[in-house]
Structures are given as structure tokens and as C-alpha cells.
A and B are shown apart, each in its own frame.
Chain A
């Protein structure tokens, strides 16, 4: 079955610096890769996603890149702010609607003011 590995498990950056979180997946049939942010005590919320027909996607300070050949994708956060502090999860899925998501192990990001 699908396995998603995520690194690092914890990441501390200074405010204004960039943060990069990396994930690898094993199922070559996976074609949808969302990223979720979970603040303490709250539910996960989608922040950005990418499909396998796209190599990069950007939304303001957040970007995601995908390398299908190597089966890895990364989350990039630029100009980090204290409110970016949270746990981030990557996930992989074979598609939408009826396919399950397999989540990575999570990265606890701490942005130091």
C-alpha cells in the first residue's frame, strides 16, 4: 500500500526566513498531493495542493513542487510569520471523491519572532 514519508519532524526558523518540508510517496498511481495545516487543538485545514500534471503551484507565500519521477513533493513557505507556527501534514491520494488519503507523519514548524 501507499506509504508517505515526511521530513523533518520538527523545524524552527526565524521570522522572515523560508521553511521547506519534504515528502516522498511510494504509490506511482497517486496523483493528488494536498498539504494540511493543523493548529493546536484544531482540525486540519487544506493550505495548498498539487496534481500530478503540474510541477509547481504557488499561492502567495506558499508553494508546492512535485517531482513525479522521484516521487517526492515539497512545501515551501517564504517570509515566515509567527502565525505559520503549526503542524503541517502532506498527503497522497489516487484521486478525488472515493480514494483515501495517506498522510505523512507531520512537521511541527515553529517560527521564532
Chain B
């Protein structure tokens, strides 16, 4: 099974600032996925990150707000830009391996 390390695990940030979340996988994967999970809610896909090309964003999410990097097959970052309290959420990265999706432990972001 894929092992995913995500950091930071939590952070409290001032509004207007940006936070970059890192996701490291212990094996090479084609796609990496970034999700947002608001308190008590489901997982909403933000974007799909493919190495060597621009990320594909879901409806309601834009690159200027959530820029993503995918420099190689084991690593990706998600930046939450110009944060507001509405961005307070858990952000999770995910990869699929052998038909199973694995998740990082999540980043609990609080914007004050």
C-alpha cells in the first residue's frame, strides 16, 4: 500500500496570507489528487495533479486560489492563497495504487 506523508498536519494562519501543503508518496504515481473536507462534510475534489502538466481543477476551484505543483512522480504541493476564514478546512492529498485510493493524514487549516 502507498504511504503518504503530508505536512503540515495543522496550522493557524492569518487571513490574507498563503499556506503551502506538501504531499510525499513512497512510490511513483501518475496522478495525485487534492481534496478539501470541511468540518463534518464530505470530501470535495479540488484538482488532479499530473506530473509534467498543469493541474486540472474542478468546478468552483481556480488555479489562482489553489496553485498546485507536481515536480516529480512522488511529490506535490497545494497552496491556499490569500486565505479567508472560509478556507478553514482539512486538506487531503490522495493517490491511487492497485485500484485503491490512499490518503494523507490531512492538513487541518484554521484561518483567523
Contact = CB atoms under 8 A, between A and B. Distances in A.
B100 A103 contact: no
Nearest to A108: B40
B31 A44 contact: no
Contact of B106 (A32, A43, A96): A43
Q: How large, as a class, is the contact surface on chain A?
A: 20 to 34
Contacts of A42: 105
Interface residues of B, number: 20
Main secondary structure of the interface of B (DSSP, over half): strand
A46 B101 contact: yes
B42 A101 contact: no
A46 B96 CA distance: 11
B96 A96 contact: yes
Given A89-B43, A102-B45, A106-B41, A97 B31 contact: yes
B51 to A, nearest CB: 12
Nearest to A96: B99
Interface of B: 30-31, 33, 41-45, 48, 59, 92, 94, 96, 99-101, 103-106
